[in-house]
Structure 1
């Protein structure tokens, strides 16, 4: 019986404790004149993820999306939102924390963020913008590959500063 309790106490546990909208900003700097434009808007979306340890087994994960929509050279609207959550990770090996924070947590948060952005845009009297699905595993792998490449480039650096346009041979 004591062995069963010890095994249960050491079992890995991963739980979302709380999800919340940490920040939301919506700007329509060219309203109402922009409503007279007939062209379809161009949409630019950027996504950033972040996180921090709050305690030994408690972490905050964030996903921030910035949406800039333009018609010609005028901004129709600019939305920036940060969705966050508090996660508890107990008995998770240290090498698995980063993938959880970089893949699993953002994947869980993103649907909340998509909904909040669509709702905010709908409140402007414009049609909602439904953000596309995001493969956070692919983004995580890109970030790891880029960090490895930058680390490799740093070790290959000879210390010479080359003028713009000149390449190393």
Structure 2
């Protein structure tokens, strides 16, 4: 005797995610150009952006804190002098349910930062503008590629550690 399911696939629980809060954990903006007293200098900015991510479980069920850290360094191409340095640690508290345990780490470090990125972008734009520079609009970040690079780096470090033992 065969069981008929009317072609329906088994029900997979729907992933639930919501942003409970988001905030600036830490921020620093240094306007080196103004500190040096340079006005209308021959400036040709070159901007470097570094991004790092971190996630941790909170005490409450299904809650996680995800931190995105941006280090934005603007230097003058002509003499390599720093124009400004912006360091921003922006975090979100997320409620996440029904993500399989083996995918949770990737979900937290890809999907969660993607959700708060527009707010990070606005903060960076406002701070650089208010700091006396043209607003810097962060390019979209490929958090999936960033995650893959981070996992490759961790795997390489683990391999080096076992090779040294």
Query: Smaller-chain TM-score range?
Result: 0.7 to 0.9
Pairing 1:93–2:93 present: no
Corresponding residue of 1:61: 66
Measured after TM superposition, the shift of residue 11 of structure 1 is: 5.2
Alpha-carbon distance in 2 for matches of 1:67, 1:34:
20
Gaps of 5+ in 2: 1-10
Gaps of 5+ in 1: 1-6, 160-169
Q: How does 1:131-142 map to 2 (within 5 A)?
A: 131-142=138-149
Which residue of 51, 55, 63 maps to 2:55?
51
Length, aligned pairs only: 151
Q: TM (normalized to structure 2)?
A: 0.80
Measured after TM superposition, the shift of residue 125 of structure 1 is: 2.6
Corresponding residue of 1:26: 29
Distance 1:70 1:147, change over 3 A: same
Q: How does 1:79-118 map to 2 (within 5 A)?
A: 79-118=86-125
Deviations 1:127-157 (A, max 9, x none): 1111111111011112222222332333333
Alpha-carbon distance in 2 for matches of 1:136, 1:84:
15
Q: Is the 8 A contact 1:34 1:76 kept in 2?
A: no
Measured after TM superposition, the shift of residue 12 of structure 1 is: 4.0
Q: Is the 8 A contact 1:26 1:77 kept in 2?
A: yes
Pairing 1:121–2:125 present: no
Which residue of 67, 70, 73 maps to 2:75?
70
Root mean square deviation, CA, Å: 2.1
Distance 1:132 1:62, change over 3 A: same
Secondary structure, aligned partner of 2:56? strand
Deviations 1:68-113 (A, max 9, x none): 1122243211111122111011233221210111110111121111
